[in-house]
Structure 1
């Protein structure tokens, strides 16, 4: 048992002062230091410096670790040119990002306070790096393939990768499933994968309505995707509509990523299914897809969280940077309530969406915690200041274990 004594503790409800935390893997008690000393007389006491703030570790629910080699190789500004550039540079990027490259990306997330991440794994090449990561990992094995003739081979490859992830036996590693998108996965494959998800109670993620090209293709089998599918896959129509796609997820709570181009009916279906939207503002801007209308999402009371996406469509894996961009992107929303929502979205909200016992400084929750060095006493606008000023993260704890920062 250990007792940590910061100046301030950030909980979802309020900011605590004059309280300490007794913990091992989980948080056992939050109370004044003297009370904890009497309850746990043998506990090691960690006293933090002035203006220290302890808050939950951040959770990045959607990141493509395998594509971490990209910096200037891919084309930004529009989704289709970006997609072609991904295909043209795929081998270079994959070969250029061996385990060391992926581990460096994982380390950069840790340095920015990310104690849990959801890895969307297309090839399984990131399995070893994610298995050895200090963070908690939800490892989403991604299923992709719209050609019925290739369904058996694609599903066999998916199963092999899923089985490999299940063989990882360490605390905080959770195998999961990702369906790439409605335009890229045949309904035959979706049905088979969802049966596994249901039988094994796995977490589920999918990209949905990221671009105008996807919108036109699923609605009319037209638009910018038409040439792409005809040229590369000899396919002249979409294999399903967006409504057909969403119907398959009715009984399985899912994390739908992007959802920028979703219509009112689709948003209502997402609400009805108690699904969660993952908002990746920087990725959406760089790929020319516009911005998710958070005002509408809030009006419909749909759960949403914030994530970075991968370095194929971002310049860093930093949730504080992501939240800052979101704060300016959604200029029609009141500033402080949005800042509070953003902080919640990368802590408690993300933990709930991923089914994890973390995301809060609360008795009974896992001791995933970070310590920030504030420059003075916080005020009522702390959420805004946390996002804007990028305070130093001096200590990181995952499942109660102190994790040294790189170079420390």
Structure 2
């Protein structure tokens, strides 16, 4: 048993002081220090500096570890130009990111306070790095392939990767399923994968409506994707439309990433099914896809959470940076309200969306916590200050163990 005594604790709805936290793997009790010491006299005690803030560890629900070698190889500003640059440099990007490269990306997340991440794995090259990570990992094995003739081979490869992730038995590692997108996965594969998700109760995510090219292709089999599919895949029509794709996800608590080009009908479907949208603001800006309409999401009671995406469309894997960009991007939202939503989106809301027992400082929750070294006493605008000022992270605790 351990007892940690910070100056302040960030709870779901308020900041408290003069309290300590007793924990092992989970948080056992939040109470005054003397009360905890009486109850747990043999506990190891850690007393923190003045103006230290204990808060939940951050959760990065969508990141591509396999492409962490990118810095200058890819083209930004337009989604299709970026996609062609990914295809052109794919082999170099994959071969150029060794185990050390992926470990560095995972360590970068740890040092920025990320105690849980959702790895979108296309090739399982990141499996070993994620298995050995200190963080909790939801390991999303990604399914991709739009051609029916190759469906059996593609599904076989997907199942083999999923089985490999299931063989990982360490605490805090959760095998899961990712469907790449409606334009890139044949309905045959989608339906087979979703049946497996249902039978095995796996977490589920998909890319959805990231670009105008996707919008035009799914609606009319036209636009910037037309040349792409005709030249590379000899395919002249979309394999399904967005309504058909979303219908497969009915009654699944899926997480849809990006969704910057969704229409009202699609959002109504996502709302009806209590599904979640993952917002990656830096990636959306770098690939020219615009800003997510979070005002409409809030009006439709659609939960949205924040993530970094991968280094193929970002410059760092840092949720504090991502929150800061989002704070300035969504200028139609009240600043303090948005800051509170952003903090929830990378803690309690992300944990709930991923089905994890973490994301808040609360008795019974997993002891995934970080310590920020504030410079002054916090006030009612603390959420804004946390996002703006990039306070030092002096301690990271994951499942009750010191990770940093």
Q: What TM-score range do you get, normalising by the shorter chain?
A: over 0.9
Deviation at 1:257, TM superposition (A): 0.2
User: For residues 203-235 of structure 1, what are the alpha-carbon distances to aligned partners after superposition, in whole Å with 9 as ceiling and x for unaligned?
Assistant: 000000000000000000000000000000000
Deviation at 1:322, TM superposition (A): 0.2
Partner of 2:363: 363
- How far apart in 2 are the matches of 1:20 and 1:178? 39
Deviation at 1:272, TM superposition (A): 0.5
1:87 aligns to what SS in structure 2?
A: helix
- How far apart in 2 are the matches of 1:101 and 1:327? 30
Partner of 1:82: 82
Partner of 2:295: 295
User: For residues 332-365 of structure 1, what are the alpha-carbon distances to aligned partners after superposition, in whole Å with 9 as ceiling and x for unaligned?
Assistant: 1100000000000000000000000000000000
2:103 aligns to what SS in structure 1?
A: helix
Partner of 1:231: 231
- How far apart in 2 are the matches of 1:268 and 1:190? 21
1:124-203 pair list within 5 angstroms: 124-203=124-203
Q: Does 1:68 align with 2:68?
A: yes
Deviation at 1:251, TM superposition (A): 1.6
- How far apart in 2 are the matches of 1:303 and 1:313? 23
Deviation at 1:13, TM superposition (A): 1.5
1:356 aligns to what SS in structure 2?
A: coil
Deviation at 1:44, TM superposition (A): 1.1
Deviation at 1:403, TM superposition (A): 1.1
- How far apart in 2 are the matches of 1:11 and 1:96? 42
Partner of 2:389: 389
Alpha-carbon RMSD across the aligned residues, in angstroms, is 0.4
User: For residues 283-312 of structure 1, what are the alpha-carbon distances to aligned partners after superposition, in whole Å with 9 as ceiling and x for unaligned?
Assistant: 000000000011000011101000000000
2:257 aligns to what SS in structure 1?
A: strand
Partner of 1:220: 220
User: For residues 142-167 of structure 1, what are the alpha-carbon distances to aligned partners after superposition, in whole Å with 9 as ceiling and x for unaligned?
Assistant: 00000000000000000000000000
- How far apart in 1 are the matches of 2:49 and 2:333? 35
- How far apart in 1 are the matches of 2:251 and 2:6? 43
- How far apart in 2 are the matches of 1:319 and 1:368? 16
1:86-125 pair list within 5 angstroms: 86-125=86-125
- How far apart in 1 are the matches of 2:192 and 2:294? 33
- How far apart in 2 are the matches of 1:307 and 1:13? 22
Partner of 1:273: 273
Q: TM-score, normalised by structure 1?
A: 0.99
Partner of 1:341: 341
Unaligned ranges ≥5, structure 2: none
Q: TM-score, normalised by structure 2?
A: 1.00
User: For residues 121-178 of structure 1, what are the alpha-carbon distances to aligned partners after superposition, in whole Å with 9 as ceiling and x for unaligned?
Assistant: 0011000000000000000000000000000000000000000000001000000000
User: For residues 242-268 of structure 1, what are the alpha-carbon distances to aligned partners after superposition, in whole Å with 9 as ceiling and x for unaligned?
Assistant: 000000000211000000000000000
Unaligned ranges ≥5, structure 1: none
Deviation at 1:50, TM superposition (A): 0.4
- How far apart in 2 are the matches of 1:268 and 1:43? 50
1:339 aligns to what SS in structure 2?
A: helix
Partner of 1:319: 319
2:119 aligns to what SS in structure 1?
A: strand
1:377 aligns to what SS in structure 2?
A: coil
User: For residues 165-196 of structure 1, what are the alpha-carbon distances to aligned partners after superposition, in whole Å with 9 as ceiling and x for unaligned?
Assistant: 00001000000000000000000000000011
Moved over 6 A (4+): none
- How far apart in 2 are the matches of 1:89 and 1:387? 34
